[in-house]
């Protein structure tokens, strides 16, 4: 329920599966245990600790958010949704999830496991179910006395249902993530790893430092 740790977890879980997040979350919060320690770190230190999660813009956004919390909010994460959404890297879903888990506020929100539960029970046999159809039911179902515990149970139940019949695939918003091996994401991560290890490099020296160099790496630099 610690607001800082909830924020870190929610940012890490954007576009990344739980099993990859857990070890990095533990390492990251050990290295940066609170807003002050993260805010005072250098961007390169934050990126170095983030390595392995990908989508590195999230790390830089989280770093900027920590600085804003320290400089503008006295080191305390704001509770109201509009202010949360003004923090770097925090959209409507993340703000609602943070409010539910850190402050036990009954905001309605949807993620993949929640989506699975509601499609399974309320849209049997339906295809391309939209979040706009699901959200009013989520709103009615929230346990307003303890929304944090409710959402944790709901997500765990969604994981259980996925092992039997992944109803989230019938969502209009379902997208399967492309493979990491051989991807632009992999190339970008390798470029970042070399630069964090070696510091500033010319293009030729960077290319020489990556034996598997191909067109993806140039694309990663230009992205």
Biggest CA pair distance of the chain = 60
pLDDT by residue (tens digit) across 88-112? 999 999 999 999 999 999 999 999 9
Q: How far apart are CA 107 and CA 33, in angstroms?
A: 27
pLDDT in tens, 117-133: 999 999 998 999 999 99
181 carries an active-site annotation? no
The structure tokens listed for 96 are: 């609602």
More confident residue, 177 or 215: 215
* CB-based contact 53:21 (threshold 8 Å): yes
132: left (phi over 0), alpha (psi -120 to 50) or beta: alpha
Query: Locate tokens 């944790």: which residue?
Result: 152
pLDDT digits (tens, 9 = 90+) for 183-217: 777 788 788 778 878 888 888 888 888 888 888 88
Alpha helices for the chain (secondary structure H): 3-12, 18-31, 35-39, 43-50, 57-72, 81-85, 92-103, 112-122, 131-141, 147-162, 184-198, 203-209, 215-222
Q: What pLDDT, on the 0 to 100 scale, is given for residue 165?
A: 82
Q: For residue 177, what pLDDT is reported? A: 62
* Annotated active-site residue in 10, 111, 127, 133: 10
Length of the chain: 223
What is the secondary structure of 113-158 as a DSSP string?
HHHHHHHHHHSTT--SB-HHHHHHHHHHH--SS-HHHHHHHHHHHH
14-23, 134-143, 160-169, 196-205: lowest mean pLDDT where? 196-205
Q: Is residue 167 classed exposed, middle or buried when 0-12, 13-18 and 19+ CB atoms within 10 A define those classes?
A: buried
Q: Which residues contact 183 (CB under 8 A, 6 or more apart)?
A: 216
Taking residues 8-35, what's their average pLDDT? 94
pLDDT digits (tens, 9 = 90+) for 48-85: 999 888 888 999 999 999 999 999 999 999 999 999 99
Which of 177, 173, 160, 176 is CA-nearest to residue 120?
Answer: 160
What pTM, to 2 d.p., does this model score? Answer: 0.82
Provide the sign of the torsion angle of the four alpha carbons 104, 3, 78, 98, taken in this order.
negative
pLDDT of 141 strictly over 90:
yes
């Amino acid at each position: 329920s610690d607001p800082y740790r909830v924020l870190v977890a929610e940012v890490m879980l954007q576009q990344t599966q739980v099993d990859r997040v857990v070890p990095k979350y533990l390492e990251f919060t050990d290295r940066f245990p609170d807003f002050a320690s993260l805010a005072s770190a250098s961007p390169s230190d934050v990126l170095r600790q983030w390595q392995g999660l990908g989508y590195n813009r999230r790390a830089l956004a989280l770093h900027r958010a920590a600085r804003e919390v320290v400089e503008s909010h006295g080191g305390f994460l704001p509770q109201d949704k509009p202010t949360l959404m003004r923090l770097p890297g925090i959209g409507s879903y993340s703000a609602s999830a943070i409010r539910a888990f850190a402050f036990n506020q009954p905001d309605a929100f949807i993620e993949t496991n929640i989506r699975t539960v509601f499609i399974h029970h309320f849209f049997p046999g339906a295809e391309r179910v939209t979040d706009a159809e699901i959200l009013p039911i989520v709103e009615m179902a929230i346990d307003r006395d303890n929304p944090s515990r409710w959402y944790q149970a709901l997500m765990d139940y969604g994981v259980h249902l996925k092992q039997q019949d992944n109803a989230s695939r019938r969502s209009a918003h379902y997208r399967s993530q492309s493979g990491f091996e051989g991807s632009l994401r992999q190339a970008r991560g390798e470029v970042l790893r070399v630069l964090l290890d070696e510091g500033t490099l010319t293009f030729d020296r960077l290319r020489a430092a990556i034996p598997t160099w191909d067109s993806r790496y140039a694309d990663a630099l230009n992205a």
